[in-house]
A and B are shown apart, each in its own frame.
Chain A
Amino acid sequence: MLKLSVIEVEKSNLYELTIAELSRKIHHGEFSVTELVSSCLDRIEKTQETTNAFVALNPELALETARKLDLHFGQGQISGPLHGIPVAVKDNYLTADYPTTACSKIYPDNPIGLDSTMVAKLRSAGAVIIGKTNMHEWAYGATNEESSFGATRNPWNSNHITGGSSGGSGAALAARMVPAALGSDTGGSIRIPSSACGVSGLKPTAGRVSRTGILPLSWTLDIGGPMARSAQDLRILFDVIAGFDPKCPTTYGICSANKIKNSGHRFRIAMFRSSEILCDDAVTESVEQALAVLREDGAVVDEVNFTGLETGFGAWKIILHCEAAAYHAKFLAESADLYSDNVRVQVEAGRCLSSSTYLKAQQYRAVFNQRFSQLTNQYDLIVMPTLPVTAPRIGQRELEVNNSTITSQDAMTSIAWIANFTGLPATSIPCGFDERGLPIGLMFVGPPFGEDTILSVAERYQALTDWHNLVPS
């Protein structure tokens, strides 16, 4: 009897396990996909009100999919590496059976009947799409406060933002509602909520994954990617979603991966320094401690100074606003009153910027990227904080960082934009907490197609530390 009750308790807490653990146990027949999906749905029911992480759920559909997968398993069939894994999808990915609104009031809230390429790949690999997650309206902001479904709240402290724009995915992972999620990233929108919510996120190299079926924000900056609770899980998801898509002209085929420049754990790491990056002391301290862990493990860490970040940040914003204005021109002409003020003013500014301003910003991008490539040629990865601060309070428009006032929006994107501007892969993983108990994120930026490198270092760091295993109370 005692043994049975222990098994029951374990089954009710399946939502706590990682993808790697769940897959192993499903394959061993320790529990069914239906039990796992039920466990996640129960957890969602308990935590949704506190977090507002989901904007669309269909428990019946998820359970029906789960039962089909169980039936296949009973017949000796495993659908793929994600057999039975519940995945939450950001609301700007087209999903055949859920509405896709980008959390705006403009898109109709009925399913379009098509899957984005990445969602289709997840389904083919056996994933159960469990629902759609909250996001900053149109992905045009990094706080997740502006959404037609209301702000997303941080599971570590519900008075604080989750960061965005993939904040619902970040909150769903942190609150253990799901083991896996998809986000999208134009200036940090996967990594920002990963940092603010204490989970792991990967922004792939531009062209490494298909953007077909993701509502665009800025064509030369956008990319989708996985979010999870460990770097190991990011790798599992990335292996499924990466690759050439004939429907997406920006994707690459199988390309020679960047090899780690040193064997074992002797990674060559550049600690990114700039007088233009202002960070809270708690963030600086946590990043230093993380580097000490890697150094102790054999990594070679050099400090590198880099300039031109302020201009680069400005050029990134120009590109973002111009490209977003082009996409939104039709919506703005027809339904301007359906935008939130926060998003509308950015689109309105973008339509006032000239074509020569846009090209000038793209010219600076070329100069900046050329300089940045000298770092990626020399090092396995570049380390920087994901965010200069921990998550601000909901409604806090400005904050103080090292005696300077900065808007919450700028604080969120002030470092993360670099990986979108350069197109380089980057991951954010937890590396500590501030005195209020809010998570701090560590960012690794790799060379082109260097996902394997940055995930290897992230996996190594997570094997040596426990930050990623901590759960909000």
Chain B
Amino acid sequence: MTMWTKENLVQYRKQLGWDELNDEQLNQVLAILNSAHDTLESLDGISWVEPDIGFRVKVKCD
């Protein structure tokens, strides 16, 4: 995953036919996406882990 830029975000949204966002909205969306990008960069090395979809607790149920 590469960092998002305003240009490729606008292009991506256009391709999918989504409404246009104003400049301030685009900046805020970019901030969230690039924060996610930073998180992903620190997740290398866990590709073997089974995802934890929701919380599964091992308890004895009557």
Contacts and interface: CB of A to CB of B under 8 A. Distances in A.
Contact of B62 (A220, A253, A354, A364): A253
A352 B9 contact: yes
Given A345-B32, A353-B36, A354-B1, A448 B59 contact: yes
Interface string B29-62: 1001101101110110011011111110101111
Contacts of A186: none
Contact of A254 (B21, B33, B47, B61): B61
Interface stretch (A19-27, A156-164, A265-273, A313-321): A313-321
Interface stretch (A40-48, A82-90, A355-363): A355-363
Given A344-B25, A348-B25, A353-B33, A314 B55 contact: no
Given A348-B21, A360-B43, A369 B52 contact: yes
Interface residues of A, number: 44
A359 B46 CA distance: 11
B19 interface: yes
A336 interface: yes
Interface residues of B, number: 34
A411 to B, nearest CB: 15
B32 A365 contact: no
A317 B18 CA distance: 23
B25 A341 contact: yes
B42 A311 contact: yes
B29 A352 contact: yes
A346 B54 CA distance: 21
A226 interface: no
30 contacts: A220-B55, A255-B59, A255-B61, A256-B62, A311-B39, A311-B43, A314-B38, A314-B42, A315-B39, A315-B43, A317-B35, A336-B19, A341-B25, A345-B21, A348-B18, A349-B36, A352-B29, A353-B36, A357-B1, A361-B43, A363-B43, A363-B46, A364-B43, A366-B50, A366-B52, A369-B52, A369-B55, A423-B54, A423-B57, A449-B59
